[in-house]
Chains A and B, each alone.
Chain A
């Protein structure tokens, strides 16, 4: 019986150690590896610390896409109220188009330009990223036909 108790004690101690270790890891990494989402209006309204990774979403402004010879792409993202200039070096997703919804992950530079490390477009003709539709709703603008497309 004493043996059984000791066995249980060892198990509990190991399990507690593991769980506290995992919790510590989680807390440490949640500090700096989660990315908040901001709409262009929120960006304009409040200061976002430069150097912090976050995501922005909205529609690509018509006529704003400029492709530079070194492969860098510049465009602006809007929630129909405010605009944020974005610079991205890399390959854009297939469904990236002017006037369409995108979500970009990156950091805000000192010059107010959002430097994206990843750009996601909606992956299907039938809907747009949820963050984007929410951002548009918040800004009081929403493409009705997009919402009503039968699923």
Chain B
């Protein structure tokens, strides 16, 4: 099999240029979708028959939680590619995922707490879902801390990649915690097999938010990735040409 496309794709100058060209194609649709999804969720969707208008927190909570898991999965996959094929650009992508994932984990945790106060009567319980999501935050922080603690970039890449790959075990734990254990957290109503157990007028804005947040994540990742590539390739001739222009 011909693998030249793989190496051409992973070549830093190619990826740097491609990321720059792609960014607006993700950023603008994401802004539009998030605005539409927010309007749909806060204004158009009917109130829930049990939770009233309190359920509307879901329109920012669930997409944030989704990103927190997606970012970690992408980070672990990129780290594994970097480790196996010694691809520098993959390590750069993994490093770019971490701060984004950490922030959306914070968003998921805090919006969940704000929703939990009136619904459960408390901000926090040591429940499997909440606890594993908190562990996810610590994994991100550990990954970033490890990277910044190791001076040599290549050693930092390898060590942090191992941590990212080992930590990926936490992703299915977060995802299935509400099914495996008795959890106070609601069961999934969208991301499950079979029909969603939420009505279309409520679901449509939520799906729009999921797509909008995902595109936002890609746009932010591409911007960060370009910076990471420049930092790693600072001795390369192409970088001099790019930044001089």
Partners in one complex: no
Chain A residues with a Cβ under 8 A of chain B: none
